[in-house]
Amino acid sequence: MSERKINLEVLRYDPDKDSEPRFQTYKAVPCQDDWVVLDALNYVKDNTDTTLSYRWSCHMAVCGSCGMMIDGEPTLSCKAFLKDYGDTIRVEPLYHFPIERDLVTVIDDFVEKLTKVKPFLIPKQPKSIEEGEYLQTPKQLKKFKQYTLCINCMLCYSACPQYGLIPDFLGPAALSLAHRYNIDSRDGGCQERMKVTATNIGVWECSFVGACSEVCPGHVDPASSLQQMKIASTVDWYKKRLMPWSKS
């Protein structure tokens, strides 16, 4: 296997010493052909600079913890093959989140928003354990399955200019997860979620830039769920006014 020398320009930030982040270049990092950016960072951490901080765990695009801006694009660093990049690669923490240290971001805002949309099953008809499980056909499962594949990697928030400009926006991943439950045949919590999701910090803040779906590593296509929620919210609005007697 051949070796290639890569320059890594990494945005560093030490909260104890730095007043603002600064770029540091690790020159001629010896990399193998089949490495990903995360491998190059690991090499630097193991051999050159032990102070470099970043998050990662699975190294297989499953845990969602290694998201970074790589050459300006929100990317999972464990999925970013060096062969697809030039000899100098710029690595920064994900946009739109405060920097905790180096490439580590603070994602508390997302976690807070996630709880707001009640991302759990609110049963249509609550059952006791003795009554058995909530059954579902393969067709009903397939309807929402795509939206269960989110790994909370935050690439969509980092790509979404609306979230960057309007921090109150609930954002793609949290809303997609709300949608995942709304269209689950066992769920009856749509109206409750709509109190938060069908507002101008919810789906109506989305202007369908579509960047979230372009960067999503799990092909969840968050933009699709938000557009579907807009349609549902519109139908609901008209229904309540034109057919006040109908239960939605």
Partner 1 sequence: MRNPYTREIPKYTWYLRQGRYVRYMAREVTSLFIGLHAFLLICGLGALSQGEVAYNEFLAVLESPFYVVFLIVALLFVIYHSIAWFNVTPQAMPVQVGEDFLPGGIIIGAHYGIWAVATIVVLFLAGVF
| Binding residues for partner 1, total number by CB under 8 A | 35
Residue 231: both structure tokens together:
């349609």
Residue 23: both structure tokens together:
């770029």
Find the shortest distance in angstroms from Cβ 169 to partner 1: 13
Among 76, 80, 159, 190, binds ligand FES (CB under 6 A): 76
CA–CA distances in Å: residue 199 to residues 161, 176, 195, 230: 18, 15, 7, 10
The site string for partner 1 over 152-191 (x = CB under 8 A, - otherwise) reads ---------x--xx--------------------------
Contact partner at residue 78 from ligand FES, partner 1, none, CB < 5 to 8 Å by partner kind: ligand FES
- C-alpha–C-alpha distance, residues 166 and 176, integer Å: 18
CA–CA distances in Å: residue 16 to residues 22, 23, 101: 14, 17, 9
Is residue 73 a contact point for partner 1 (CB under 8 A)?
A: yes
What residues between 14 and 73 interact with ligand FES by CB under 6 A?
A: 56-59, 61-66
Among 194, 211, 216, 220, binds partner 1 (CB under 8 A): 211
Our CB check for partner 1 shows the closer of 59 and 230 to be 230
Contact partner at residue 66 from ligand FES, partner 1, none, CB < 5 to 8 Å by partner kind: ligand FES
Find the shortest distance in angstroms from Cβ 101 to partner 1: 9
- C-alpha–C-alpha distance, residues 142 and 123, integer Å: 18
Find the shortest distance in angstroms from Cβ 70 to partner 1: 13
Residue given tokens 């190059």 in the structure block: 40
Residue 230: both structure tokens together:
């807009």
Phi, psi (deg, nearest 5) at residue 51: -85, -10
Among 10, 31, 91, 99, binds partner 1 (CB under 8 A): 99
At 31, which helix (H) or strand (E)? strand 22-32
Q: Are 18 and 51 in contact (CB under 8 A)?
A: no
Find the shortest distance in angstroms from Cβ 215 to ligand FES: 14
Is residue 104 a contact point for ligand FES (CB under 6 A)?
A: no
Contact partner at residue 209 from partner 1, ligand FES, none, CB < 5 to 8 Å by partner kind: partner 1
Our CB check for partner 1 shows the closer of 42 and 162 to be 162
CA–CA distances in Å: residue 132 to residues 3, 126, 238: 58, 11, 37
Nearest Cα residue to 148 out of 171, 182, 125:
182
Q: Which residues bind ligand FES (CB under 6 A)?
A: 56-59, 61-66, 76, 78
